[in-house]
Amino acid sequence: MTRYLITGATGMLGLDLQTALAGRDVTALGRNDLDVTDLDAVKAAVAGHDVIINCAAYTKVDDAETNEDEAYQVNAVGSRNLAVAASAMHAKLVQISTDYVFDGSATTPYAENTPHSPISAYGRTKAAGEDFVVAENGARSYIVRTAWLYGKNGPNFAKTMLKAAGTRDTLNVVNDQVGQPTWTVDLAAQIVLLLDSDAPVGIYHGTNAGVASKFDQARDVFSLAGFDPERVLPTDSSAFVLPAPRPAYSVLGHANWAAAGLEPMRGWQDAQAAAFAAGVFETA
């Protein structure tokens, strides 16, 4: 029987992966259970497992600008440690990565083989993590890049919009950041599909299909909740200055799914409607 190890298992994606792998032999370790920056601890945790799914990450994008060393330890060194340990066990590794490895200057979807071009500390540390995984366990590793995640077990943009809808007549939402809102339930299922299919190793983009701005997503959320979407007004990123620059264009291409004979993830609107029906965006 295949034995799975999930690191970062108490996060939004990690919890949904536990559900997606229900009934299988799964070890789920959160941040308090395993320090991925400790190589000896990582080797001990990985021992006896056939598949490692690394959801452990320093995800505080803005804080990383002034704490890049700390972010690097988790996102780069931690990933290297897991890759080294996986290699020693001849185990498969799924490395969860991000659209932030790109600069967001593209105008067409990023192909899986597009070179890294990060513009933030967070992006640099995640890109380094990808490089370490390829160097240490490339023959048995999947890199799954995702973006704009939301789920029941963490803060999410849609929930924020609905909370604001209860206290404000109108909301200003940026229309110059474009990407793919992605439900962690769909991503977890896609990762399991990838592993079960024994697809070729390499990079896969794990995002719901289609294209949306934050403005588009907010309007869709309002419509699902029965609010007037006209209450959502467009603005641009200059109205919300943050420490870390955001990629303006975070649309990821899905060619490698087709090449592996697998269906990519469903469209973002269908996923968001299903998430809403499942109560993911409930604010109380």
* Active site residue ranges: 122
**What is the rounded CA–CA span in Å between residue 272 and residue 284?**
19
Q: Say which residue the tokens 């890759």 belong to.
A: 83
**What is the rounded CA–CA span in Å between residue 115 and residue 112?**
9
Task: Give Cα separations from 141 to 104, 225, 251 (angstroms).
Answer: 25, 40, 23
Task: Give Cα separations from 2 to 24, 137, 202, 243, 262 (angstroms).
Answer: 8, 19, 21, 43, 21
Query: Other C-beta atoms within 10 Å of 52: how many?
Result: 27
Residue 102 is encoded by which pair of tokens? 């790109």
**What is the rounded CA–CA span in Å between residue 210 and residue 60?**
26
Residue 214 CB partners (closer than 8 Å, separation 6+): 157, 173, 174, 175, 177
Query: Other C-beta atoms within 10 Å of 209: how many?
Result: 19
Give the pairing type, strands 212-213 and 178-179.
antiparallel
For residue 65, with 0-12 CB atoms within 10 Å meaning exposed, 13-18 middle and 19 or more buried, which class applies? middle
Phi, psi of 2 (to 5 degrees): -70, 135
Look up residue 138 and give its amino acid. Answer: G
